[in-house]
Amino acid sequence: MNTAWIFEQLDIISSIGESVEGGQNRLAFSENDMKAREFLKHLINQIGLEYREDTFGNIFALYNTGSENQIVATGSHIDTVPNGGRYDGTLGVITSLAAIKEIKENKENIRHPLELIVFQAEESSRFGHSTMGSKIISGKLENFVQWEQSRDNDGISLVQAMKDTGYNFYDINKSVIEKDRYKYFLELHIDQSKTLMNANVPVAVVDGIAAPLRVRVTIFGEAAHSGSTAMRDRKDALVIASELILAIRNISLAYDERQAVATVGKIDIFPNAINVVPGTAVMYVDIRGIHAKTIEELFGLIRAESSKIALRYKASSEIELLSSEKPCALNNIVTDTIEQSCIDLNIPYIHTISGAGHDTMNMAELAECGMIFVRNVSGISHHKNESILNEDIEKGALVLHDALLKLSR
Ligand SMILES: [Zn+2]
């Protein structure tokens, strides 16, 4: 594996849109994003591959020697959050390209064509919608009107930003890809948690991508004078909410973290005044897991607990479902292949799940998917300090290369 080549390309891409402090700024459809994409196209040509770009700016570079039609694809994104890290997305793109380059140069005998996909607008930072490019190609774009109306912080609409960079928003639906084009899809990504760092392993086989179910719980207590209302006569909505928050924590602790987690991240109380016993508390719960059934189960337990606690205070509660996304279990054949590559290469690994969303979730509509995580030695992501060891990059790239070979033979 030509790791020097990988480091060199990572350096070049990272220099595009880099702030003085080292943060990466390649927001989707920005000038820097376009510059980096131009560089990638040049790199693809240099390797002797042809590329096509769809109506949204997703880039596809095909290496076709296969006798069978179904493509084995690999890739990630190069757009970033403001002041993002060097590796989020970009590492997957460059290692994918390096793997295909290696397979091409070694004239490996493969049955399926290989393809690099560089997704556009994975990050939601600019227009508020995530994994846009992969949603489009997989036919998962549902909120066309919301996308059409979305604007960035400077008031520039997605429609305008696309127009300014040579794309037509009203053509995006032309980029949906037919269901039988891909056989497998693999994404290598930097770990966006401390999991691999804590486990002290360079890579991980990802078993699934968690998705959030979000609910709003409203506690109806009774607002009252904070001085004249006896403690035993109170229906303090915030006290009830506090008990519920602790109950949610205890219920979730009983679940393996790989299965599900739940968080109360936001709470509003009314009237929110120092001399009034809180009458109403509105809390927002985010429940995540990799199996829809487990998420539902946890949701059910939280629902039961909220009415039970409210009842104890002679108050009432209401729970509303705000949104429910489908978690993505990754394909066994692909995860087993990645695992076998780690074993064959003698690279230590663990199994993990992804708490963050990725383009792979959408690609699962088009192909059997798998993900490889590479250790993040900073333990943080979406931050300029995101960091990774060169030797881990090499190990990740080797696993990706080997798994692609195995899957395309
Ligand atoms: Zn990413």
CA–centroid distance, 243 to ligand 1, in Å, is 36
Q: Are 172 and 56 in contact (CB under 8 A)?
A: yes
Q: What is the pLDDT of residue 86?
A: 95
For residue 162, how many other CB atoms are within 10 A of its CB? 22
CA–centroid distance, 232 to ligand 1, in Å, is 51
Q: Are 400 and 345 in contact (CB under 8 A)?
A: no
CA–centroid distance, 89 to ligand 1, in Å, is 4
CA–centroid distance, 266 to ligand 1, in Å, is 25
Beta-ladder partners of 14: none
CA–centroid distance, 251 to ligand 1, in Å, is 30
d(CA 403, CA 368) in angstroms, rounded, equals: 13
> CA 264 → CA 77, 126, 215, 280, distances in Å?
30, 26, 10, 16
> CA 114 → CA 71, 101, 156, distances in Å?
6, 10, 37
SS3 annotation, 111-177: CCCEEEEEECCCCCCCCCCCCHHHHHHCCCCCCHHHHHHCECCCCCEHHHHHHHCCCCHHHHHHHCC
**pLDDT, mean of each 10-residue run, the chain (409 residues):** 95 96 95 98 96 98 86 97 96 98 96 97 93 96 93 96 98 96 98 95 96 94 96 97 97 84 94 97 94 92 96 96 88 97 98 92 96 95 94 98 97
Query: Domain 3-209+327-408 class?
Result: alpha beta
CA–centroid distance, 80 to ligand 1, in Å, is 8
CA–centroid distance, 229 to ligand 1, in Å, is 52
> CA 2 → CA 24, 102, 149, 190, 278, distances in Å?
25, 8, 44, 19, 63
CA–centroid distance, 405 to ligand 1, in Å, is 24
Counting other chains too, the contacts that 121-124 makes at CB distance below 8 Å and 24 or more residues apart are 121/28, 121/29, 121/56, 121/57, 121/77, 121/79, 122/28, 122/76, 122/77, 122/79, 122/89, 122/358, 122/359, 123/27, 123/28, 123/77, 123/79, 123/80, 123/81, 123/84, 123/89
CA–centroid distance, 374 to ligand 1, in Å, is 12
| Rg of the chain (C-alpha set) | 24
DSSP classification of residue 242? H
CA–centroid distance, 276 to ligand 1, in Å, is 45
In the numeric block, which tokens belong to residue 151?
């604007």
Q: What is the pLDDT of residue 355?
A: 86
CA–centroid distance, 381 to ligand 1, in Å, is 9
CA–centroid distance, 231 to ligand 1, in Å, is 50
d(CA 76, CA 87) in angstroms, rounded, equals: 11
Peptide bond before 271: cis, by omega within 30 degrees of 0?
Answer: yes
Q: 3-class DSSP state for residue 203?
A: strand
All structural domains of the chain with their residue ranges: 3-209+327-408, 211-324
DSSP classification of residue 343? H
CA atoms within 13 A on the CB side of 210: 20
| Domain 211-324 belongs in CATH node 3.40.1280.10 | no
Burial 351-368 (b: 16+ CB within 10 A, else e): ebbbbebbbbbbbbbbbb
CA–centroid distance, 92 to ligand 1, in Å, is 9
Q: What is the pLDDT of residue 235?
A: 97
286 exposure class (CB count in 10 Å sphere: 0-12, 13-18, 19+): middle
User: pLDDT tens for residues 61-75?
Assistant: 999 887 778 999 999
CA–centroid distance, 157 to ligand 1, in Å, is 23
CA–centroid distance, 194 to ligand 1, in Å, is 16
What predicted TM-score, i.e. pTM, was given to this entire model? 0.84
> CA 291 → CA 33, 166, 237, 245, 358, distances in Å?
35, 40, 32, 23, 16
Q: What is the pLDDT of residue 258?
A: 65
Q: 3-class DSSP state for residue 100?
A: helix
CA–centroid distance, 281 to ligand 1, in Å, is 35
Q: What is the pLDDT of residue 188?
A: 98
Q: What is the pLDDT of residue 1?
A: 84
